[in-house]
Amino acid sequence: MNAFDKLDKELLRAVADLEGIPKGAFNIRKNGALLARECNANIEIENNAKGTGIIIRIKANTRNESVHIPVILSQAGLYDVVENDFIIGENCDVAIIAGCGIHCGSDQQEGHAGIHSFHLARNARVRYVEKHIAIGDGSGKRALNPTTKVQLDSGAHLEMELTQLGGVDEALRVNEVVVDEGASLQIIEKVMTAKRQTATSQTSILLRGKGARSNMISRSVIRDDSRQVLYAVMEAMAPCFGHIECDAIIMDRGTNETVPSLKALHPDAELTHEASIGKIADEQLMKLMSLGLSYDEAVNRIIQSFLK
């Protein structure tokens, strides 16, 4: 990674677990401009016509390949907006690793809004991992506002792992997914906020086809005086199955609002949800302390595992 400075490397490691040039295709964006790109025989990456982002096309039947598309920001005052389209061919089985890392070294605001649109053709399988993190000693506000829109054709499967673990002052995440016949969706969203940070997540899932399945798991940790809000709406228009599970651990003086919503527009739809908000249970702390961990070690272990 000779093209990258020390800070770039730190951010890339944090958001995409990259220790060097990734294997397979990649597109690395820094401060609103292309830093590095690699395509291969099955994965094509090009700028979109408006010049506002990229189009990633993955050929049908591509299997066991990955695409890394991290974004890093370290330019004071920059709010980077990017529109990326992912067109995944039939029967693919691939991983897409995205994410944004911000380094703020000044008192000016920095931010990123990644607007991602996915189209998974029939029987395609994708694992999509997106991590957000902000670091640096600057006092400027760090904002991350991702939007993810997904169309799952029949039999397609998408796993979305969305993580925001620290340093982001303000986040608004929007997820909109349409699940067609026999397709399935798994969303795992993990967010930790601290200080006076706020994070809002709005997810809408439309189960449109017969046999569609969706499972959404949200894990929130709210430290200090931070605040998180989660709206999760699941709407079923066919005989299908959907489940929403939202758990929030409040530490210190944080607040949380969790609003799961289920709409069955078909008599054979089966929708469930469970939600909990609260402090770490005393019985959990006592169990770990009875195994020899200190109070702080027990708290950290519980939080780490909860967000794993």
Partner 1 sequence: MLEVKDLRYAVNNNGASQEIIPAMSYRFQKGRFYAITGPNGSGKTTLAKLIMGIYAATAGKIILDGVDITAKPVNERAQAGIAYSFQHPARFKGITFRELISIAANTDDATEILRLMKRVGICSLSHLDIPVDGKLSGGEIKKIELATTIARNPKVAIYDEPDTGIDLWTIEPMVKLIKNEQVNHGTTTIVVSHNKAFLEAADTVLILRGGQFFFDGTFAEALPHLNNISVCDYRTCGDKTYDECFR
User: With binding defined as CB under 8 A, does residue 308 bind partner 1?
Assistant: yes
List the one residue from 219, 228, 244, 246 that touches partner 1 (CB under 8 A): 219
Among 247, 262, 264, 273, binds partner 1 (CB under 8 A): 247
> Judged by CB under 8 A, does residue 231 bind partner 1?
no
- Whose tokens are 């929403």? That residue is 244
- Which distant-in-sequence residues (6+ apart) come within 8 Å of 59 by Cβ? 41, 42, 43, 44, 89, 92
In angstroms, the CA 308 to CA 303 distance is: 8
Does residue 47 bind partner 1 (CB under 8 A)?
A: no
Query: Which residues, listed in sequence order, are joined to residue 163 by a DSSP beta bridge?
Result: 131, 190
183 or 298, CB closer to partner 1? 298
Specify the stretch interacting with partner 1 by CB under 8 A; choose among 18-26, 68-76, 80-88, 288-296: 288-296
Q: Whole-angstrom Cα distance, residue 82 to residue 58?
A: 20
Of 160, 234, 243, 159, which Cα lies nearest the Cα of 202? Answer: 234
Return the residue of 3, 34, 265, 289 that touches partner 1, per CB under 8 A: 289
For residues 269 and 234, what is the distance between their CA atoms, to the nearest angstrom?
11
Side chain identity, residue 201:
S
Which residue's CB is nearer to partner 1, number 147 or number 284? 284
51 binds partner 1 (CB under 8 A): no
Mark the segment that binds partner 1 (CB under 8 A) among 9-17, 83-91, 256-264, 278-286.
278-286
Q: Does 294 bind partner 1 (CB under 8 A)?
A: yes
Cβ 159 to partner 1 shortest distance, Å: 17
Nearest alpha-carbon partner for 188 in 208, 215, 157: 215
Residue range at the interface with partner 1 (CB under 8 A); choices 52-60, 164-172, 222-230, 294-302? 294-302
Question: Considering the rule CB under 8 A, would residue 284 count as an interface residue with partner 1?
Answer: yes
* Phi–psi pair at 297, nearest 5 degrees: -65, -40
Asked if residue 287 binds partner 1 (CB under 8 A), the reply is yes
Residues that bind partner 1 (CB under 8 A): 219, 247, 281, 283-284, 286-295, 298, 301-302, 304-308
